[in-house]
Structure 1
Amino acid sequence: MTDRKLVFAGAINMFIAVGAGAFGSHGLKQMLTPEMLTIWHTGVTYQMAHALGLLLIGLLLRNGYAPMLKIAGWLMLAGIVLFSGSLYVLAFTGVKVLGAVTPIGGLGFLAAWAMLAIAALKR
């Protein structure tokens, strides 16, 4: 993934996270149980944090950091989809089996941050 695509993906994910956060705070209060609303907000929080990570990785790629950052970007994006996405669907549907997907997204986050750390040391 190129630096521009990573920055774009980060910006779009921030946009989605802000919208999802507002929707959760205003539109979902009447629809979801407090437990499911907490799950929704966990998805929003992690999406926001890792969207910033995508922006960071994209900007670092512009400055010539290690090519492994491209892989880190893909892992972080996959983490957002799997982690936050599974929590959003879980909050809406209550289907608990979707919770099994969430840790896979978390592993994507961990791998992406580890690759970022390694890339920083290799520079």
Structure 2
Amino acid sequence: MNQRNTLLAASVLGALAVTIGAFGAHALKPSLVAAGKFEVYELATRYQFYHTLALLAIGILQQFIPGKKLEYASLFMLIGTVFFSGSLYLLCFVTLGGIGIITPIGGVFLILGWLFLLLGIAAKK
């Protein structure tokens, strides 16, 4: 993703993380605790925040380090966050089989995002 789209994605993910986190901590907490899913919800929110900040950093770095590696890093971070945190949110409320497989796929995309960030920074001369 280019710099503009990376920063836009970080902005949207950040706003959603605050909204979803607050909603879970207040309105949904009793039902999440009763279902034993509060920790899963918190993990999803935490990872969404971490990777929102990573996307923001990548967007800023794209100003100084042009190239495809940081574009891939931002794309993989976005996909990874949606898959990883999104699947955990779904696991809190839906009992469909097969959703759990999406979480590690999201994790792989997050790892790829971090590796492409590393490669992009390392390529800077």
TM-score above 0.5 = yes
Matched, 1:26 2:26: yes
* Cα distance in 2, alignment partners of residues 13 and 19 from structure 1: 10
Equivalent residues, number: 123
1:50 aligned partner:
51
Q: Which runs of no fewer than 5 residues in structure 2 stay unpaired?
A: none
2:91, 2:75 → 1: CA distance? 23
Identity %: 36
Q: Say whether residues 1:111 and 2:104 are aligned partners.
A: no
Show the counterpart of 1:66.
Answer: 67
CA distance in 2, matches of 1:92, 1:34: 9
Instruction: Using the TM superposition, give the Cα deviation of residue 40 of structure 1 relative to its aligned residue in structure 2, in angstroms.
Output: 0.9
Contact 1:90 1:96 survives alignment (8 Å): no
Instruction: State how far apart, in whole Å, the 2-side matches of 1:94 and 1:47 are.
Output: 22
* 1:83–1:103 CA contact under 8 A, matched in 2: yes
Q: Scaled by the length of structure 1, what TM-score is found?
A: 0.93
CA contact under 8 A between 2:24 and 2:41: conserved in structure 1?
yes
- Quick check: 2:65–2:120 contact (8 Å CA) kept in 1? no
Give unpaired runs (5+ residues) of structure 1.
Answer: none
Give the Cα separation in 2 of the matches to 1:64 and 1:117: 12
Q: Which one-letter code corresponds to 1:106 in the other structure?
A: G
Over aligned residue pairs, what C-alpha RMSD do you find? Answer: 1.3
Which piece of structure 1 moves more, 92-101 or 8-17?
92-101
